[in-house]
């Protein structure tokens, strides 16, 4: 059984993506790792090369920014990376995600077990979303994501690269036959950034989704509001460990701001009433 890892990335330095940590966290459990590096305004290509692993294979690409609407550009570039994978399984880690080494045995065992069942096309991970800092998680963000797919079976990313489509256009997360939830986590750090960098990243996302309806000024205002994390006070404390490759970032990080116990905050119960209790 051969396992490929894959990802896509552009402007990793400009937007402070933990891409080195992301790739490094996957290397111990894959036989090769494909990185689709888009032409960047910074030295993202040099950053990937600096990892120095002979498992890494770099594919250089030029992204078409006219395809940003609804995230289409991301699904396309993710599929480019997947197309170069040669393994039986392909393990995706996006540019702001990291695997925890504690989950390596579970991931390996799941791939070995389900490799024998051709009906299983994808393995689903639990998501852990950090918001604002390394000690705060958002339990109301999406809780599961397909992060391993069976290769050479006509599987493609959804438009926004949030899931995969099996043959017949069935979403992996909605198919009990073709996917299996495993006891592994994917740590998502995309919302832990300097506020200025985060605002610029969000401005790109707003133009991607709503550029036809929002002015430049409106996009900037919305990005600034989201970067301040108005729901921070009702989010959940994280008391577990971080992946080893993230220790340097965690040790140099700071809490976003002080907050009291969320169970004593009336806004927490409003959130639970509107969206349910998620932990």
- Tokens 């039986």 identify what position? 88
Domains annotated for the chain, with CATH where assigned, are: 3-191 (3.90.550.10)
Q: What is the pLDDT of residue 66?
A: 61
- The Cα 169–Cα 236 span in angstroms is 35
Q: What is the pLDDT of residue 210?
A: 46
Q: What tens digit of pLDDT does each residue of 19-37 get?
A: 999 999 999 999 999 999 9
Strand, helix or coil for residue 162 = coil
- Tokens 């504690």 identify what position? 102
CB 180 within 8 A of CB 114: yes
Q: Is 25 exposed, middle or buried (0-12, 13-18, 19+ CB in 10 A)?
A: buried
- Crossing angle of helices 216-227 and 195-210, in 10° steps, is 130
Q: What is the pLDDT of residue 20?
A: 98
* pLDDT (tens place) for every residue of the chain, 279 residues total: 999 999 999 999 999 999 999 999 999 999 999 999 999 999 999 999 999 999 999 999 998 766 555 557 888 899 999 999 999 999 999 999 999 999 999 999 999 999 989 999 999 999 999 999 999 999 999 999 999 999 988 898 887 778 888 887 778 787 777 899 999 999 999 999 887 787 777 666 655 544 455 565 555 555 555 656 788 888 999 999 999 999 999 999 999 888 888 888 888 788 887 888 887
Q: What is the pLDDT of residue 211?
A: 44
**What is each CA distance from 171 to 34, 36, 97, 174, 177, in whole angstroms?**
23, 23, 21, 5, 11
Q: What tens digit of pLDDT does each residue of 220-269 get?
A: 555 555 656 788 888 999 999 999 999 999 999 999 888 888 888 888 78
CB 87 within 8 A of CB 2: yes
- The Cα 172–Cα 150 span in angstroms is 11
């Amino acid at each position: 059984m051969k396992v490929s890892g894959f990802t896509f990335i552009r402007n990793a330095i400009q937007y402070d993506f933990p891409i080195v940590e992301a790739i490094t966290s996957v290397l111990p459990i894959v036989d090769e790792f494909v990185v689709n590096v888009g032409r960047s305004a910074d030295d993202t290509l040099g950053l990937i090369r600096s990892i120095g692993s002979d498992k890494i294979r770099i594919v250089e690409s030029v992204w078409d920014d006219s395809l940003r609407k609804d995230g289409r550009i991301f699904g396309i570039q993710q599929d480019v990376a997947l197309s170069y994978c040669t393994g039986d399984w392909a393990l995706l880690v996006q540019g702001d995600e990291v695997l925890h080494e504690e989950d390596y045995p579970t991931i390996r065992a799941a791939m070995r077990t389900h490799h024998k069942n051709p009906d299983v096309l994808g393995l689903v991970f639990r998501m852990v979303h950090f918001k604002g800092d390394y000690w705060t998680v958002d339990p109301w963000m999406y809780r599961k994501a397909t992060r391993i797919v069976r290769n050479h079976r006509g599987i493609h990313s959804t438009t926004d690269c949030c899931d995969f489509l099996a043959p017949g256009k069935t979403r992996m997360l909605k198919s009990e036959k073709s996917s299996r939830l495993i006891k592994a986590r994917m740590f998502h750090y995309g919302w832990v950034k300097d506020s200025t960098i985060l605002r610029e990243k969000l401005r790109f996302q707003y133009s991607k989704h709503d550029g036809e309806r929002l002015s430049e000024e409106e996009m900037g205002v919305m990005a600034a509001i989201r970067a301040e994390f108005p729901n921070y006070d009702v989010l959940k404390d994280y008391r577990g460990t971080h992946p080893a490759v993230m220790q340097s970032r965690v040790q140099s990080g700071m809490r976003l701001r002080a907050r009291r116990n969320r169970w004593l905050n009336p806004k927490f119960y409003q959130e639970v009433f509107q969206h349910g209790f998620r932990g």
